[in-house]
A and B are shown apart, each in its own frame.
Chain A
Amino acid sequence: MSDEVGVPSTPPVDDWASDYDIFDADYINDPYPIWADLRGECPVATTERWGGSFLPTRYEDVVEMARMVPSLSSADPIVVRPPDDQIDASGAYHTVNAPPISADPPVHTWSRRLILPAFSPKATAKHEPYTRELCNKLIDDFIETGQVDGAQDYAQQIPPRVIAHLLGVDEGKADEFTEWVRGVLEIGLSNPAVRQASREKIFGFFQQEVADRRVNPKDDLISELMAAEVDGEPISDNHIVGTCNLLLVAGIDTTWSSIGSALWHLAGHPDDRKRLVGDPSLIPNAVEELLRAYSPVTMARVVSEETEFKGCPMHVGDKVLMNFPGANRDPEMFDNPDVVDIERQQNRHVAFGVGIHRCAGSNLARMEMHVALEEFLARIPEFALAEGGEVTWAGGQVRGPRQLPIVF
């Protein structure tokens, strides 16, 4: 168990159906057999750990739960709640202010609509040249050495810069952004004190960015949000800062994890790698398949009214983990779900969620993955995992490699 990624030490799990632990080392390193067992045995698992939650494992159930709006509310998408004595005096940072991901309709509807145009296929395509240049610069830095940590020196470096570029903030702060986001989603996931401190940094940063633009409006997404109106009213600074917080947090760990998992797969599967090198037009389809097989994101819901799911009672305050990664490995939905078939034709994967909270950044994330793989494969067609090198994974609610030694 690595302290580096903040994985807490937890008592071993005997019965996954009634006592699962998303921070268990086995779960982080290889959750797939655990979900496969649960699907047959007890498709919606429960646990008292970390404040208690439900874990669906079937595609059908995950999709149905995603549509149970608002009884399964998005008000608190992080599963581990801070204990009362750890909540800061103002209470400002213990809940998530990150619309639309933290909102239900009607706030969800307008706050999502506000950001969608910045992430349409057309708007996203505008960031492609920047992303391509960035990937090449990163490759320039290590190509002569014959080795790279694919997670830290490549995958991790891309999303924070692309999102900074899109928001209009200093790309030079990319490492800080990454640190803050890991403070929320990795180390801070099981450690609410770290999470609060990281949130304070993110909010402080964006409050300053908003204040600067009050004086000097710019041509960027933050300024656009500041100029926007909903029903004739301007949007509150608190809302804008919350949305910027979301775009930073949602855009970094997730995409980094996906690019990293894709490189990890290709490093260990020379046949797939060679096929993509030989025919880069297969990359978009491969990206969807890699997203299916190694989906990084599991967001939570909180039960907001007494309800039941297939006869199983759910009480107000209970948490539900939207197990999109598990849904994507369900044999009822996908033939040979544990086999990565980069030419898979039928692939209704839900790596980006399903229903009203479908990842608003999915076009951007796809573009980043596509460009990152295309450029890497073009310049480094032959590569493999370093012998004896250790691959480590972050888990919890966003899963992906954090150390990925590659040689070429």
Chain B
Amino acid sequence: MRIVVDSEKCEGHNRCYSIAPELFDVDDYGYATEANGGVVPEGMEDKARLAIDNCPEYAITIVEE
């Protein structure tokens, strides 16, 4: 699975990061980017989906199932 954060949409709620710190990096201003090139390690797919389902800005999407 691969995910991507749309930096145009991200407003830095950090919901993703608090749910799955392994999957996201946060810069000094609180804006998120996908960690590890967006590749979700095996077994962490559910956490990735949870992060997606809690982002109020709909900024995170799955680019590859």
Q: Give me the interface of A with B, judged by CB distance under 8 Å.
A: 113, 116-117, 119-122, 284, 288, 345-350, 352, 354-356, 358, 362-363, 366
Contact = CB atoms under 8 A, between A and B. Distances in A.
21 contacts: A116-B28, A116-B29, A120-B27, A120-B30, A121-B17, A121-B18, A122-B26, A345-B50, A347-B53, A348-B53, A348-B54, A348-B55, A348-B56, A348-B58, A354-B11, A354-B56, A355-B11, A356-B11, A358-B56, A363-B14, A363-B30
A117 B28 contact: yes
Interface of B: 11-15, 17-18, 26-30, 50, 53-58
B54 A288 contact: yes
A385 B42 CA distance: 46
Nearest first, the 7 closest Cβ-Cβ pairs linking A and B are A346-B53, A116-B29, A358-B11, A348-B56, A120-B30, A117-B28, A354-B56
Contacts of B26: 120-122
Nearest to A123: B28
Main secondary structure of the interface of A (DSSP, over half): helix
Contacts of B27: 120
Contacts of A363: 14, 30
A358 B12 contact: yes
Determine which residue in A117, A121, A345 has the highest number of CB atoms from chain B within 10 A of its CB, and name it: A121
Contacts of A354: 11, 56-57
A362 B12 CA distance: 9
A294 B33 CA distance: 30
A117 B17 CA distance: 16
Contact of B30 (A116, A345, A350): A116
Given A345-B50, A347-B54, A358-B11, A120 B18 contact: no
A354 B54 CA distance: 13
B18 A284 contact: yes
Nearest to B55: A348
A110 to B, nearest CB: 12
Contact of A352 (B13, B18, B29): B13
A363 B13 CA distance: 8
B11 A119 contact: no
Nearest to B57: A354
A168 B34 CA distance: 34
Contacts of A113: 29
Contacts of A358: 11-13, 56
Contact of A121 (B14, B56, B58): B14
A3 B40 CA distance: 55
A120 B28 contact: yes
B29 to A, nearest CB: 4
B11 to A, nearest CB: 4
Nearest to B30: A120
Nearest to B11: A358
Nearest to A349: B56
B13 A362 contact: yes
Contact of A120 (B13, B29, B53): B29
B59 to A, nearest CB: 11
A288 B54 CA distance: 10
A347 B55 CA distance: 8
Contact of A345 (B17, B29, B53, B56): B53
Contacts of B30: 116, 119-121, 363
A122 B55 CA distance: 19
Contacts of B11: 354-356, 358
Contacts of A288: 15, 54
B21 to A, nearest CB: 9
Given A356-B11, A358-B12, A350 B56 contact: yes
Contacts of B14: 121, 362-363
B12 A116 contact: yes
Contacts of A347: 53-54
A356 B29 CA distance: 13
B2 to A, nearest CB: 21
